[in-house]
Amino acid sequence: MNRSNGVFLESHCCPGCGAAGMSVFYTVPNVPVHSVLLLATRAEALNYPRGNIALAFCSHCGFIANVAFDPSMHEYSAKYEETQGFSPTFNAFHRKLAEQLITRYNLRGKQVIEIGCGKGEFLTLLCEMGNNRGVGIDPAYVSERNQSAVKDQITFINDLYSEKYAHYQGDFVCCKMTLEHIQDVADFVGIVRRSIGDRPDTVVFFQLPEVRRILRDVGFWDIYYEHCSYFSAGSLARLFRRCGFAVLDLWTDYDDQYLMIEARPASGQPVPVLAAEDDLAALIRDVAYFAEHYQRLQQQWKQYLHTRHRQGQRVVLWGSGSKGVAFLTTLGIRDEIEYTVDINPYKHGMYMAGTGQEIVEPAFLRTYRPDVVIIMNPVYRPEIQRDLEQMDLYPDLLTVDHAPVMAATGDVPAE
């Protein structure tokens, strides 16, 4: 056993392919085990339970896992406020994706299963737009927030998906932004495959974060405790093939942040390997690049924020979700940023896990008048800029993927 940055590490087998010898390349100790629970007091936020991150890479299949992850630390419930449905940008993406899937697989008058449905927004869209019936499974679903006219066509189950729900069968199985929360990924995908049984026409669709973008951007803000599993197109396809699926398509969307896979039960006939699956050598290079550069980038951010604080400038974060929590806790930022902005009204008056910043509505900025706004997700920059201009506010706008060097005025360490 060895130790790195306060995290004790052992040799681990890959949860994806079972190979031994996963190598740890990134560690962060003492991070909040949840990022988007509604925490009503600063004391609760500051004292929220913590765990360790130790990302390890499997050179056999390309899977990346937090080998320090402890699933018993989690408390998924109605307090889990993960929705992005208050953003026009996100809603446009969601509707376009639903239209594409309905058209491609003739999802009209069909039975749709969604595993990890959150607040039920996407499943409801599929049922509204295609007159489908649905079953959604998620402990964070809140019935009172679903006002759709097709709500009665959908059965929602407030629970984590497991073998006990494998008897639910559908013409289409959807699982969005859930697999990255699962530690035993091969077991989980195996349950999905067994649930389909001998229904060869059932299509499975998964959406999750794409790890190569995170590695190339050195996006440490995209690494947090809830996400214990990280995939590229190739590692995801290899997992699905091992679990008895034929991979139909792989692609990225939402500014290449989201990785999508479509699959059917394998029939025994050879299925061509898609070009996007051939990424293992590139993954090895991406992991090495991240490991080489993350400390310097984190230091640049720390220096930038410390300098702005000393100058008396007001800096706010826009985006109180997991990216914001990871950004603040990884850098150890408290006093340098007082507030985090979010358009989700359910988060207003709550506090950021680990660092305790109050979450405020955008209108708060009219009186606070920040000098700098750091946007946690660059895809929302046009939307956020419009919101600020409508309030007659023109602060420096920085996106988290480029800010330190682009915004430097001599304060950030040179190359």
Domains of the chain with CATH codes: 2-71 (no CATH), 88-283 (3.40.50.150), 304-406 (3.40.50.720)
pLDDT, residue 10, reads: 55
Question: Stretch 377-400: mean pLDDT, rounded?
Answer: 97
CA 190, CA 15: separation in Å to the nearest integer?
12
pLDDT, residue 78, reads: 85
End-to-end CA separation in angstroms for the chain: 35
Question: 399 forms bridges with which residues in the sheet?
Answer: 375
pLDDT, residue 345, reads: 97
- Give φ, ψ of 101 to 5 degrees: -70, -40
Q: Which of 2-6, 127-131, 266-270, 301-305 shows the lowest mean pLDDT across its residues? A: 2-6
CA angle 53–59–61, rounded 5-degree value: 95
Summarised one tens digit per residue, pLDDT across range 84-122 is: 999 999 999 999 999 999 999 999 999 999 999 999 999
Contact of 157 with 149, CB cutoff 8 Å: no
Global confidence as pTM: 0.93
CA 78, CA 49: separation in Å to the nearest integer?
18
Is residue 6 pLDDT above 60, yes or no? no
Is residue 409 pLDDT above 60, yes or no? no
Summarised one tens digit per residue, pLDDT across range 291-332 is: 999 999 999 999 999 999 999 999 999 999 999 999 999 999
Top-confidence residue, 183 or 270: 183
pLDDT, residue 408, reads: 42
